[in-house]
Amino acid sequence: MVINSPRGTADIFGDDIICRNLIIEQAKKLFKLFNYSQIITPAFEHTEVFDRGIGQSTDIVKKEMYTFLDRKGRSLTLRPEGTAPVVRAIIEHKLYSKIPVKLFYIGNMFRYERPQKGRMREFWQLGVEAAGVDNPVIDAEVIWLLALIFETLGFKKLKLLVNSVGCADCRPPYINIFKGYIKPHLESLCSDCRERYDTNPLRIFDCKVPSCAKIISSSPKIYSNICSSCAKHFNTVTDLLKALNIPFVIKEELVRGFDYYTRTIFEIISEDLESVQNALGGGGRYDKLIEQFGGPPLPSIGFAVGIDRTIVLMKQLSVSLSKEDSQSNVFVILLERRFEKYGLEFLNYLRKCDIRSDISFEIKKVGAQIKLAKKNEFTHAAVIGEDEATSGNITVKKLADFTQNQFNWKKDPHKIYDILK
Ligand SMILES: [Zn+2]
Ligand SMILES: [Zn+2]
């Protein structure tokens, strides 16, 4: 019987793991520069955290959560996103004694969706949350950080979309205007959108069905219906982005799938990816969420980046992978079994020199071992036989052209760096 990994999950190895580590490494460097510290929250939470945090009318809560009862009958849910758990942790540990609270996370998330390239049921995200600041400067800073993550990875055809979804004062009246516009078209909408009309009308903006998109295109947009203080906030954000030389586009149809967003929302897309699945990351402001959770009033903002989709794009664009793999490395070949102890000593020396190295575990003909070394992407090989073990003079062969250099590793241990150059 062959057992496969469950649908929508993946083993991550080979090039994918190199890409993934590079993404995480670069992002962590930036998080440090921007003064964020890391938080790790559990992979599952009380279901209530997401019911309250994400909103019961969202697709995520209604259809996509992995919710189960534990052995004591408690309802738990594998996290479908990172913000609600971080908010729960901020309140639980009163992390708001220092404002702003700047946290980043890296973790696996779970949503029961139809799997496709770059969208899995278990997927990985990294993200930040900055809590306690109302000032639009932090909006600009958070967006700047998101853009930098992809810029550092060498992505070129990026587009940053921004919009404002208003606040508790201006959104409800807008929703009435919007519903008034949609009502006569209700019969022409898809069944999902007809349902959204009652539960979460703004989500109609996300519908990819052409007939819905056509109706939406001439609808009044929230952007033109926000109150003056939301407009002032948003104008400051865009002014600051201009000052930072960050190109952006105001996209009035942008809404994003969470109920908790207020004011600034943003998304970064790659024009190298297919349009349905082109969002690499995004986020927004959530000024009331922490209060709704029972915490103090802490206006906040954050974003999340889809690591899996970023890997897809890195591979598609052949973004150059980690440097360490292009560095020289040595495969140690033994001519006979009795040199194993000596071989391990030599291996220990190489590894202490920070040189990636390995040893042959089978004693075969030198030619066969050289083939094995090449297959495993070693750049150099060192053969150990009677003479080498007695004298300490080791010959290192460069596998690309078979040039060779001899050195005495005990007497002249630093010479290996010259040889591998
Ligand atoms: Zn407003
Ligand atoms: Zn629709």
Instruction: Give the model confidence (pLDDT) of 364-387 as tens digits.
Output: 899 999 999 999 989 999 999 999
What fold is seen in the domain 327-420? Rossmann fold (3.40.50)
Among the listed residues 356, 360, 361, the one whose alpha carbon sits nearest the alpha carbon of residue 370? 360
Answer whether 262's CB lies under 8 Å from 227's CB. no
Q: What pLDDT was estimated at residue 323?
A: 47
Q: What is the CA(136)–ligand 1 centre distance, in A?
A: 14
Q: Could you say which ligand is closest to the alpha carbon of residue 225?
A: 1
- Alpha carbons 277 and 72: distance in angstroms, whole number: 39
CA 169 – ligand 1 centroid, Å: 5
Is 62:47 a contact under the CB 8 Å cutoff? Answer: no
**126: pLDDT strictly greater than 70:** yes
DSSP track, 178-204: HHHHHGGGGGGS-HHHHHHHHH-GGGG
For the cut 60, the answer to whether the pLDDT of residue 233 exceeds it is: yes
Taken in order 90, 129, 305, 165, the sign of the CA dihedral is positive
Q: Give the pLDDT score at 320.
A: 65
Rounded to an integer, what distance in angstroms lies between the CA atom of residue 44 and that of residue 66? 9
Helix (H, G, I), strand (E, B) or coil at 113: coil
Q: Are strands 249-250 and 75-78 parallel, antiparallel or unpaired?
A: unpaired
56 Cα to the center of ligand 1, angstroms: 23
Pairing assessment for the beta strands 262-270 and 158-164 based on DSSP bridges: antiparallel
- The answer to whether 266 touches 284, Cβ cutoff 8 Å, is yes
Cα torsion at 19, 24, 26, 30 (round to 10°)? 160
Place of tokens 């853009």: 147
- Which ligand is in closest contact with the Cα of 230? 1
Do the beta carbons of residue 265 and residue 163 sit within 8 Å? Answer: yes
User: pLDDT (tens digit, 9 = 90+) per residue, 170-199?
Assistant: 999 999 999 999 999 999 999 989 988 988
Q: Relative to the alpha carbon of 205, which ligand is closest?
A: 2
First to last CA, the chain: 49
- In the reported structure, the alpha carbon of residue 67 is separated from the centroid of ligand 2 by a whole-number distance in angstroms of 27
Q: What would the mean pLDDT of 239-252 be, rounded to a whole number? A: 96
Query: Residues whose CB is under 5 A from ligand 1 (ion)?
Result: 166-167, 169-170, 227, 230
Compute, in angstroms, the gap from residue 148 CA to the centroid of ligand 1. 29
pLDDT band at 328 (very low <50, low <70, confident <90, very high): confident
Distance 259 CA to ligand 2 centre (A): 18
Q: Are 268 and 241 in contact (CB under 8 A)?
A: no
Ligand of minimum distance to the alpha carbon of 207: 2
Q: Residue 252: what pLDDT?
A: 92
pLDDT at 276: 67
Instruction: Provide the pLDDT confidence category of residue 55 given band limits of 50, 70 and 90.
Output: confident
**Is the bond preceding 85 in cis, omega lying within 30 degrees of 0?**
no
Q: How confident is the model at residue 318 (pLDDT cuts 50, 70, 90)?
A: confident
Name the CATH superfamily, with its identifier, for domain 15-170+226-316.
Answer: Bira Bifunctional Protein; Domain 2 (3.30.930.10)
| Side chain identity, residue 87 | V
Ligand showing the shortest atom-to-Cα distance for residue 172? 1
Report pLDDT for 326. Answer: 54
Q: For residues 31 and 112, what is the distance between their CA atoms, to the nearest angstrom? A: 30
CA of 282 to the centre of ligand 1 (A): 21
pLDDT at 351: 93
Protein residues placing their CB within 5 Å of the ion ligand 2: 190, 193, 207, 209, 212
Ligand 2 center–CA 255 separation, angstroms? 14
CA of 168 to the centre of ligand 1 (A): 6
* Distance between Cα 219 and ligand 2 center (Å): 14
* Percentage of residues in the chain having pLDDT higher than 90: 80
Place of tokens 């930098």: 148
Q: How far is the CA of 173 from the centre of ligand 1 (A)?
A: 10
Mean pLDDT of 272-300: 91
Question: Contact 280/126 with Cβ under 8 angstroms?
Answer: no
d(CA 98, CA 261): 23
Q: What is the identity of the amino acid at 284?
A: G
Q: Which ligand ends up closest to the CA of 182?
A: 2
Judged by its nearest atom, the ligand closest to the C-alpha of residue 171 is: 1
Residue type, 375: K
Q: Residue 403: which of 421, 376, 384 has the closest Cα? A: 421
Q: Which ligand is nearest to the CA of 201?
A: 2
**Residue 393 bridge partners (DSSP):** 408
Listed residue (8, 26, 135) closest to 78, CA to CA? 8
Q: Find all residues with CB under 8 Å of 57, minimum gap 6, and list them.
A: 199, 200, 259
Q: Which amino acid is at 410?
A: K
Q: Find the ligand nearest to 169 CA.
A: 1
Torsion of CA 151, 162, 112, 79, to 10 degrees: 80
Considering every ligand atom, which ligand is closest to the CA of 215?
2
Give domain limits for the chain: 15-170+226-316, 327-420
The residue behind tokens 């055809």 is 157
pTM across the whole model: 0.88
Give 311: exposed, middle or buried? Use CB within 10 Å, 0-12, 13-18, 19+.
buried
Average pLDDT over the chain reads 92
